[in-house]
Amino acid sequence: MNLIVVESPTKARTLSRFLGKDYLVEATMGHIKDLPKSKLGVDIDHNFTPDYEVVPKRKETIEKLKDESQKAKVIFLASDPDREGEAIAAHVKEILGKKKISRIVFHEITREAVEEAIANPKEIDKNLVDAQTARRVLDRLVGYKLSPLLWRKVRRGLSAGRVQTVAVRLIVEKEREIKAFKPEEYWEIYVSLKQFTPEVKSADTSGVFVVQLIEQEIKNEEQAKKIVGDLKKAKYAVSDVRKREVVKSPYPPFTTSTMTQAGARIFGWSAKRTMSVAQRLYEEGLITYHRTDSFNISQAAITKAREFIKKTYGEKYLPESPKYYKTTSKVAQEAHEAIRPTDVNKNPTSGVGLDSPEVKRLYELIWRRFVAC
């Protein structure tokens, strides 16, 4: 028997559905080690060394993992493919500390992806673990003493850290810009026009179009009234007609940033809510990993999408060649694919085991965006 360790019970259940009896899947229920709540937990005098300790609520989970590891031939650490997941894997390895322990990474929870990961295990990425440790230490150094100030001055339960502190500064700077802004009066003038045809009655409003005066800066009401008076006496003619072809491309597939923006704009959800629903979709094996800044899509996924479009909508809706999108951000890591359905044939109308309205809504949004691009 082989043991696979993941973070969440949902992910464990999804993996168990298509892995055979040779595999036992257990969940850590999140982090099993963290900085203590009762003290700073960072040794400032000795290279900012973190004082990680076992999370009290995870003691039973740890004992269970130790028991199961005694029976396992090989232990696979399959936490999420990011810094946090790498740190969880490292902590599990520290606690188990025996036998053959391998790290496996997959960006979608499908049989093919998991089997490929098991066939190509690797070592824990120390650089990712160090990056997560640095982030956690920075959170603690900034937030540990600042949060109590918020509790006293604003409301208990609020947190302040590396993200919130920068966000507050940006808001303050923008507010100062708003207060320093000096408004200047300006006027805009629009004219309703229609083609002159003697036999058509003046009451007929068909064919009316609106134009804007753009070649003159109007700074006050007196100037505006004078211009309007002149325009009422004027005659109008079309002096030039320009025709051009406009090509509109579909939006690129979702990244974490654009998905949370769409969740806020379309559903009115907070970023936290959108990411929580996306986590459920990922753990159910319905979408690829949802923490990504890349527009990349695998060639296999593109091929399946093109086959689906041709079969479902017809040849005329299929472009001659696939579209490729480039990431414009200079700091994009592009370690993962864009967010997409793991199987394009699981369209939203088929249900695909979606257990709640919000899960179904986000899946439909991701699915439509992927097929459209």
The catalytic residue positions are: 289
Secondary structure element (H or E) that encloses residue 2, with its range? strand 2-6
Query: Under DSSP, is residue 6 helix (H, G, I), strand (E, B) or coil?
Result: strand
User: What secondary structure letter does DSSP report for 47?
Assistant: T
Cα angle value 336/58/63 (rounded, 5°) = 105
Count of beta carbons in the 10 Å neighbourhood of residue 122: 10
Q: Answer whether 324's CB lies under 8 Å from 242's CB.
A: no
Phi and psi for 6 in degrees, rounded to 5?
-120, 180
Nearest to 341 by CA among 304, 307, 316: 304
Q: Which two tokens stand for residue 325?
A: 């999108």
Give the pair of three-digit tokens for residue 137.
């230490």
User: What count of Cα atoms within 13 Å lies in the side-chain half-sphere of residue 119?
Assistant: 6
Helix, strand, coil distribution of the chain in percent, nearest 5:
45, 10, 45
What does the H/E/C string look like for 310-367? HHHCCHHHCCCCCCCCCCCCCCCCCCCCCECECCCCCCHHHCCCCCCHHHHHHHHHHH
The dihedral through the CA atoms of 304, 306, 309, 315 has a sign that is negative
Residue 300: which of 121, 120, 110, 117 has the closest Cα?
A: 110
Q: Which residue, among 139, 119, 19, 25, has the nearest Cα to 79 in the 3D structure?
A: 25
Among 212, 210, 205, residue whose Cα is nearest residue 227: 212
Closest CA to 362 of 297, 281, 250: 281
